[in-house]
Structure 1
Amino acid sequence: MGPLAFTLTEAARRAGVSPAAPYRHFKGREELVEEVARQGFLEFAGRLERAFDDGRPNAIAAFQRLGQAYLDFARERPGYYMAMFESGISITGNAELSAAGDRAIGVMLRAAEALTAPLPPEKRPPARMVANHVWALSHGVVELFSRGKPGGRSPVGPSEMLESAAIIYMRGLGLIPE
């Protein structure tokens, strides 16, 4: 049962309100899921901001904390995570949802900029590309190793999987010596 496998009537029943109550706030199920996703992105962005902590004590340590914050959020807030990433909603179709999502990716962009700043400009990859790579890597670890997926039987835990992959990635960028 995914985030869209419910009716507004069922949501109202579980919330203990009349079947008509949700329609006072939402046009339909998708609008409700968009609101859940928006709230999730706001919480997620806040967690990422706290984890990054303006890159203290150094960008590499802060970057690693971002990955752990991603895993923690997915584990601790699965309903939000599913609404944000698995519901099939259009993030760009809702201005408030888009802004909340942009706040989260903004933290990743700042982290990528701080991480790659030591590289000479001609060897520095675009911050958006680095942020997207790490976002995709984090998301992949969640999907394959943290949520009962086939890779979940790995002898290496999700945190270790993400950390080792991030180290390999940073080595490939020339940020960490061999």
Structure 2
Amino acid sequence: MAKRGYHHGNLRQALIDAALALIEKQGPQGFSLSDAARSAGVTPAAVYRHFAGRDDLIAEIAREGFEIFAARMERAYDEGRPSALAAFEATGRAYLDFARSHPGHYMAMFESGISLNRNPDLARAAERAGSVLNRAAEALSRHIPEGRRPPAAMFSAHIWALSHGVVELYARGAPGARSPFAPEELLETGIGIYLRGLGLVPPDA
């Protein structure tokens, strides 16, 4: 295949797509910028017209991932409809769905070691994604008596950690992690137990 120079019309996105495929196959630390250039069909020198190094390329993939993730979370939350509880539970399912449908983005976001403050665009995208779950938690926590109400940020952090754990252990096939239950069921029941402990879900009859 002939090399296409840096004038290639959509080289930046071609490099991102090539890196995503490499991340899914080899992990975020398992490829070089030269590998991405080769996969995109361009010379390594052309890559540097768009990215200062591999970490910059991964950071851009993470930023793109957080934008996709935030959009999915916002659609799932749907401004708290049909109820604060249903909307909150929907954000947990959206997390699992995103990890499955965008594994390369997910790994760049959470497994690459890239700081979310590496550049302002990445920081803003990550904050947007986190703010959806924070809003959902805040709306739901209003139904808890004030004296027993955890901070909304703690509330959302607990659910984020639960969702992330289910994804890492069971949805992405961590070595040695097996469960007789589907990841969706594990996440749904885990969130239910947490919310029941806060008094937001009535105890089973």
After superposition, the CA RMSD in angstroms is 1.1
Q: Please give the residue correspondences for 1:91-130 in structure 2 after superposition, counting only pairs within 5 Å.
A: 91-130=116-155
After TM superposition, list the pairs within 5 Å mapping 1:71-110 onto structure 2: 71-110=96-135
**CA distance in structure 1 between the aligned counterparts of 2:92 and 2:83, rounded to whole angstroms:** 15
CA shift at 1:150, angstroms? 4.2
Aligned to 1:89, what secondary structure does the other structure show? coil
Residue 62 in structure 1 maps to residue 87 in structure 2: yes
Query: Hey, what's the Cα distance between the residues in 1 that align with 2:145 and 2:176?
Result: 37
Q: How many angstroms does 1:93 deviate by?
A: 2.6
TM-score (norm 2): 0.84
Read off the aligned partner of 1:43 and give its amino acid letter. Answer: I
Matched, 1:38 2:63: yes
CA displacement at 1:151 relative to structure 2: 6.1
State which drifts further: 79-88 or 149-158.
149-158
The equivalent position to 1:167 in structure 2, one of 174, 188, 192, is 192
How far 1:92 moved relative to its partner? 1.7
Structure with greater proportional helix content = 1
What residue ranges of structure 2 are gaps of 5+ in the alignment?
1-25
8 A Cα contact 1:112 1:130, kept in partner: yes
1:59-84, CA deviations, whole angstroms, 9 ceiling, x for partnerless residues? 11111111111011000100000000
Question: 1:130 Cα deviation (Å)?
Answer: 0.7
Dislocated runs of 4+, deviation >4 Å: none
Out of 41, 54, 57, which is 1:16 matched to?
41
CA distance in 2, matches of 1:133, 1:32: 30
How many matched pairs? Answer: 178
After superposing the two structures, state which structure 1 stretch, 38-47 or 148-157, moved more.
148-157
Decide whether the 8 Å contact of 2:59 with 2:118 is kept in 1.
no
1:152 to partner: Cα distance: 4.7
Distance (whole Å) between structure 2 residues aligned to residue 102 and residue 173 of structure 1: 26
**Which residue of 168, 178, 182 maps to 1:143?**
168
Give identity over the alignment, percent.
60
- Cα offsets for 1:131-157 (capped at 9, x unmatched): 111111000000111111146531100
Q: Which has the higher contact order (CA 8 A, sep 6+)?
A: 1
Larger Rg: 2
